[in-house]
Structure 1
Amino acid sequence: MATNGDLNRKLRMALVGGGSGSFIGRVHATAAVLDNRAALVAGALSSNPERAKASAADYDIPEARAYTSYQEMLEKENALPESERIDFVSVATPNHMHFPVAKAALEAGFNVMCDKPMTLTLAEAEELYEVVQKSGAVFAVTHNYTGYPLIRQAREMILNGDLGEINAIRVQYIQGWLRTKLEDTDQKQAAWRSDPAKSGAAGAYGDIGTHAYNLGRYMTGLLPDKVSSHLTTFVEGRKLDDYGTTVIRYENGALCTLTASQISHGRENDLAIEIDGTKAAIQWRQENPNEMIFRQNGEPHKIYTRSPGAPFMTPMGDAACRIPAGHPEGFFEAFANIYRAAFDAMALRALGKDFEKKDTIYPNIHDGVEGMYFIQQCVASSGQDGAWLPLKHDAARR
C-alpha cells in the first residue's frame, strides 16, 4: 500500500517544544513516526534559542530547519515550496504555550497535534475552537489513553449495548511523584506544572484529572450535566491542587466518581476505570493495558486480552493493534494510534477531500474545549465547597 494512501508520501512534521530534558516531546516524535507515515523535518524545540538549536541533533533535524522560535519556523516553512514545507505542527510545550503556538500554526495553514490540556484557560479554548473552524485544518488533542486497543474495544462494546444502560463510572488517576515539594528543586517538569502562570488554574486536575475525565467520556459517550468537586493542596506552600475528588452527573442520570492524586506514596501512573451497566460491567487499568475484565452476575468473569484477529475483538479494537497477542503493546503505541487516525484526515485534506471533523476516533477540538470547561468548573465548584455547577458547553457539542 502506498504511504498515506493516494497521497503517496510521508507527512512532514514540525515539533514545538521537546528540547533537552523533555519527556513528552520525545513521545510525540516517536509516536508520529511509528507507522512510517510521517517524518520529523523541522522544529522549534525550546524557548531558549541556544537550547533550541542544540536539541535539534537529538531528533536528526537539519540545522537549516532548527528554528529558534515557533514564529520563525512558521514564517520560513511557509516560504518553502509546497513539496518541502511541513504538513503539521506538534505542540509539546508547557500548557501556557499551547494556545499561541496552535493558533499561529492553524492561521498559517498547518494541521495541529496539541498536547493536553488544550489551552491555559477556557477563553483561549473557545477562541481556538473558532480558529479551527475557520482554518479547515485537522486538529487533534493527544489524550493518548483513548488509543489503547482495549479502550477502543470497550467503547464499541458499550455503544453496541453489551453493558446495557450505563449507570456508574469510577475512574482514578493516582500518582505519587509530587509527594514532596519537588518544584523547589531543579526538576523542570515539577516546576512548570506547579506554576499557575504556566499550568493554568489547576495542578493535578489539569495534568491528569483531564485524562481521567476524557477517558470516561470517550468510552461511554455519555453527555455530562453537572459537577461537584473538592480540590485541595496537601503539600504546604504549593500553589495548585495536588489531590481532588469529583462527582459528575450525566444527562441519563449516571454518576461518575473521579479521583486524581499526585501525592500518593508509591503510585506511578495508575489510571484505572470501572464502568457499570444494567447488563454487565468492565474494568481496565493503564498499568496492565493489555487486559480488560468483563463481569456479569451469575457468570464467570471474562478477561479480554489484546488479541488481533480474534473473533471477540471489535473492528475498532482490532484496528488499534500492531503486533500479535502475547507481545505487550503500551504507551507509545496508544499515542501513535492518535497520530494514525489524525494522519488519515491530514492525507484527505492534502488531497483536497472532505474529512470528518467532530465524530472522530481521535480527540478533537470539541474534546479540548470540554476538557478546559471541566477544569474551570471543577476549580469553581471546589471554591464553592463542592457546589453543583453545570458541565454542558455549547462549543463542545456543536
Structure 2
Amino acid sequence: MSRFSERTGPIRLGMVGGGQGALIGGVHRIAARLDAEFQLVAGALSSTEERARASAEAIGLPADRTYADYAEMAKREARLKDGIEAVAIVTPNHMHLPVAREFLKRGIHVICDKPLTGTLADAKKLAKLAEKSDAQFILTHNYTGYPLVREARARIARGDLGDIRLVQVEYAQDWLAEQPAPDNKQAAWRTDPERSGAGGATGDIGTHAFNLVRFTTGLVPTALAADLHSFVPGRTLDDNAHVMLRFEGGARGMLWCSQVAAGKENALVLRVYGTKAGLEWHQEEPNKLMVTPLGGATEIVTRAAAATTDGSRRLTRTPPGHPEGFLEAFANIYGEAAQAIRAARTGAALPEGVVFPTIADGVEGVAFVDACVRSSRRDAAWVTP
C-alpha cells in the first residue's frame, strides 16, 4: 500500500523543468489539469534560481514551493505532509536519469517526457531504479493518447487486418531545415549531443514514430538498417533518417523521420497493411481513421462514432463532429497516469483498458535510437535493436 493511500482529491503534482521559453512544460501543465486529476503545487522550473522563481511566479506557484534545485525539491517534498505525490520531468534528455532517481527513491511517481534518456546505458540504469521503487513510471508518448490510435490498436488486435505484412510510419517536420537562431532554446539542446543524446531527429521524433508502431501493432522488431544523415552544415546529430525494419513473424516496415522536410509541420502518419485490410491515420487530421478491406471501399472512421470500440470512446470528451486534438490526447496520458497512481495508493488492480507508455517502452525507444546509430555508422548494415 502506498504512503499516499489516505489522500483524496486531485493528485498533488510537481514539475522539474518547463520554465520560461520551454514549450513542452506548458503542454504538460495544460494536460495535467484538463480533467482536474492533478494540481500543480511545486516546481523546480529552471536550474538557475532567478529564472526558476520568475517562471514559478508567472504560473502562480507559491514561493515556498519553488525550488532552484531538483534534489532539494525531492527531499523537502517527500517530508511535507502535503508534499507532491507525482512529478513531471520535462528537462532535456540528459537530465531525465538524475532527476528521476531523486524522486523514485522517495516513492514519488514519475511522469517523464520522452525519450527516456539520452543513452541506452542511462535508460537501463533508470529501468533498474524504477523496478526497485514502489512508484509508477509513465512516459509521455502522447500520440498513444489519441482515441483513433486506440481504435487502430483495437482493430489490429481483434484481427480486422488479418496477418500484418507491412508497416509504414513517417514523422516529418521542417523546423530545423536551416541553422536556428542562437536564442532558440528548443533547437539548441535538441541538436547538442551532450544534452540530447546520440540521436537527433531519431531521438526527438523517430522514437514517437517507432513507439506508435509498437503500440498499435504489437510487432516486435528483430533487425533494422538505418541511414542517418545531417543535411544542415555543422550539425553533428542526424536531422533525417530512413530506417528499414524486420519484425517477428515476417512483417516488414519502413520508418522515415525528418526535421528538414520543407513544408512539413508535424506530419506523423501511420499505415498498416495486412492480409485482409489496411488502415491509415494522420496526426494532423487525428479525428479520422481510414480502413480499407482488400478489394473493398475505404471506410472513414470518425472519433466517437458508434462504430468505434469502447476503448476508443472512453478517451473522448466531446460528441462526434467536435474536433479533439493534441492537447486532449496528451491529457489522456495524464488521465491514464492518474488511474495508475490512484490504484497504487491502495494496491488495487488497474481498471480494465487503462494503458500508458511505461519505462519498458522507454528503454525500447532508446534501444531503437542506439541501433539506428550503430547501423548508420556501418553504412546502413542490419543490426539487432
Quickly name the TM-score band, shorter chain normalised.
Answer: over 0.9
Aligned match of 2:27: 27
Deviation digits for residues 148-185 of structure 1, max 9, x if unmatched? Answer: 00000010000000111111111000000111111x52
Aligned match of 1:315: 310
Work out which of the residue numbers 233, 243, 248 in structure 2 matches 1:246: 243
Where in structure 2 are there 5+ consecutive unaligned residues? none
Report the residue type matching 1:389 in the other structure. Answer: V
Work out which of the residue numbers 354, 375, 378 in structure 2 matches 1:381: 375
When residues 6 and 317 of structure 1 are mapped into structure 2, their CA distance, relative to the original with a 3 A threshold, is: farther
Q: Secondary structure at the match of 1:386?
A: coil
Tell me the distance in 2 between the aligned counterparts of 1:7 and 1:341. 18
Tell me the distance in 2 between the aligned counterparts of 1:360 and 1:200. 31
Where in structure 1 are there 5+ consecutive unaligned residues? 392-398
Tell me the distance in 1 between the aligned counterparts of 2:174 and 2:97. 29
Q: Secondary structure at the match of 1:116?
A: coil
Report the residue type matching 1:362 in the other structure. Answer: F
Q: CA deviation at 1:266?
A: 1.4
Q: CA deviation at 1:137?
A: 1.1
Report the residue type matching 2:42 in the other structure. Answer: A
**1:350 counterpart = 2:345:** yes
Tell me the distance in 1 between the aligned counterparts of 2:51 and 2:97. 22
Paired residues for 1:1-398 under 5 Å = 8-81=8-81, 84-182=82-180, 185-307=182-304, 310-355=305-350, 361-391=355-385
**Would you say the 8 A contact 1:7–1:347 is kept in 2?**
no
Tell me the distance in 2 between the aligned counterparts of 1:231 and 1:44. 35
Report the residue type matching 2:332 in the other structure. Answer: N
Deviation digits for residues 183-206 of structure 1, max 9, x if unmatched? Answer: x52111111000000000010110
Q: CA deviation at 1:270?
A: 0.3
Deviation digits for residues 55-77 of structure 1, max 9, x if unmatched? Answer: 00232211110111111111111
Tell me the distance in 2 between the aligned counterparts of 1:57 and 1:352. 36
Q: Secondary structure at the match of 1:238?
A: coil
Q: Secondary structure at the match of 1:390?
A: coil
**Would you say the 8 A contact 2:90–2:113 is kept in 1?**
yes
Tell me the distance in 2 between the aligned counterparts of 1:198 and 1:6. 39
**Would you say the 8 A contact 2:278–2:294 is kept in 1?**
no
Tell me the distance in 1 between the aligned counterparts of 2:6 and 2:307. 32
**Would you say the 8 A contact 1:279–1:296 is kept in 2?**
yes
When residues 273 and 6 of structure 1 are mapped into structure 2, their CA distance, relative to the original with a 3 A threshold, is: farther
Q: Secondary structure at the match of 1:264?
A: coil
Q: Secondary structure at the match of 1:172?
A: strand
Tell me the distance in 1 between the aligned counterparts of 2:289 and 2:20. 36
What count of residue pairs does the alignment treat as equivalent?
Answer: 381
Deviation digits for residues 65-100 of structure 1, max 9, x if unmatched? Answer: 01111111111111211xx11010100011111111
Aligned match of 1:395: none
Q: CA deviation at 1:354?
A: 4.9
Report the residue type matching 1:320 in the other structure. Answer: L
Report the residue type matching 1:348 in the other structure. Answer: A
Tell me the distance in 1 between the aligned counterparts of 2:334 and 2:200. 26
Aligned match of 1:396: none
Give the alignment's TM-score, normalised by structure 1. Answer: 0.93
Q: More displaced, 378-387 or 184-193? A: 184-193
Provide the aligned C-alpha RMSD in A: 1.6
Report the residue type matching 1:262 in the other structure. Answer: Q
Q: CA deviation at 1:138?
A: 0.6
Q: Secondary structure at the match of 1:325?
A: coil
Deviation digits for residues 288-311 of structure 1, max 9, x if unmatched? Answer: 00001111233221100002xx43
Tell me the distance in 2 between the aligned counterparts of 1:175 and 1:298. 33
Report the residue type matching 1:339 in the other structure. Answer: Y
Report the residue type matching 1:280 in the other structure. Answer: A
Provide runs of 4+ in structure 1 moved above 2 Å. 5-8, 351-356
Q: CA deviation at 1:6?
A: 9.2
Aligned match of 1:394: none
Q: CA deviation at 1:7?
A: 5.6
Give the alignment's TM-score, normalised by structure 2. Answer: 0.96
Q: What is the aligned-residue identity percentage?
A: 48
Q: CA deviation at 1:49?
A: 1.2
Tell me the distance in 1 between the aligned counterparts of 2:142 and 2:223. 25
Tell me the distance in 2 between the aligned counterparts of 1:259 and 1:208. 10
**Would you say the 8 A contact 1:99–1:120 is kept in 2?**
no
Tell me the distance in 2 between the aligned counterparts of 1:297 and 1:254. 17
Tell me the distance in 2 between the aligned counterparts of 1:223 and 1:360. 22
Q: Secondary structure at the match of 1:211?
A: helix
Q: CA deviation at 1:360?
A: 6.0
Report the residue type matching 1:125 in the other structure. Answer: A
